[in-house]
Amino acid sequence: MKIAVLKETKEKENRVALSPHVVKSLVASGFECIVEEGAGLKSYFADLAYTTAGATIVPDSKSAYAQGDVIVKVNAPTSSEIAMMKSDCVLISFMWASTNPELTKALAEKGITSFSVDAIPRISRAQKMDALSSQSNLAGYKTVIMAADTIGKIFPMMTTAAGTIKPVKVVIMGAGVAGLQAIATAKRLGAIVEVSDIRPETKEQVESLGGKFIELKGDDSIKTEGGYVKAVSDDFLKKQQELLFKHITHADIVITTALIPGKKAPVLVTEEMVKHMHFGSVIVDMAVEQGGNCPLSELNKTVVKHGVTIIGESNLPSLLPMNASELYAKNIQEFLLHLATKDGFKWEMDEEITKGSLITHKGQIVHPSLKQ
């Protein structure tokens, strides 16, 4: 079975789907790997590293798509990329299918079988395949480093002959994978860290990392699934904003990570809060691509509003492309070896991981959440 690795075409994307190390492992398992020329350069993987690992380099994407039985990508394909794929190939990538109906329709019409790595069930035996977690972990780290580079202060308390410097106060909204890594990174740098999350079960994790948990009583409007918040009422969001006003307006750095799959990101940091923040404070809005947790953030821009610097970088893992690609490649390897052998796919249609991640198959949209 031939696995094709493509050069990513999305703007600001530096990752690649397979690293040379993983290619070597897959080749040893009996797969054949075809890599588009220059696919790994932005991740600091030279073509020579792929050929040394046993891959074949092809000159362009058309050649790779024409030969690939399995297409592995980071981002969802464009319509022009779908047109180059073989009708009986298998695609594995991030797809965000619930918010991308035109993509799923195009894949089904072409007869392409597709698996979306963001739809892999959040179960213990799928942890090694969990690309959402591997990429969010790096993103959480990078947010703190970006904030530290932007703010005009050092993080730790420092006593000098000229006086004592107070530690930076960081407020982190959301204690998921990204939020927890942000807590750990900010604490390692010496900051005072406060954390808000509407899931009370995250309190112990926050405190184990040295963060102070901001208590907020939940209500029946909060719906969670697989450890993620799926829905929350406007009334609850208002109560949350009222409680957080004091914490946010006294913070030096605010990092927001709150997302609701398939919906616009909830507003957590209002313009009124920003107006009351210290001059020179920093906000890093990790939800900017889904509308933002702060209405003043702008996609892929760093802006200054009311004296506060607001960072709206949409693709944080791509800023750490070597690590991000290595981890993503390992996720893809584990996922592929679960689904297939060198001789073909197992097609265990009732198996939980297969069923949860399969989007299109045999000309049909098959994922349960998308059929309607």
> Could you give the residue numbers annotated as active site?
122, 127, 130, 133, 228
* Tokens 């994790």 sit on residue: 205
Q: Is 120 helix (H, G, I), strand (E, B) or coil?
A: coil
Give me the amino acid identity at 149. D
Q: How far is CA 244 from CA 17, 95, 204, in A?
A: 39, 34, 20
Question: What gap in Å lies between CA 6 and CA 8, rounded to an integer?
Answer: 6
Q: Which helix (H) or strand (E) segment is 185 a member of?
A: helix 177-188
Instruction: Pick the closest to residue 180 from 224, 226, 134, 211 (CA basis).
Output: 211
Q: How far apart are CA 181 and CA 201, in angstroms?
A: 17
Give the three-class secondary structure for 362.
Answer: coil
- Pairing of the two strands 308-311 and 228-231: unpaired
Report which residue type is found at 205. Q
Helix (H) or strand (E) holding 302: strand 302-305
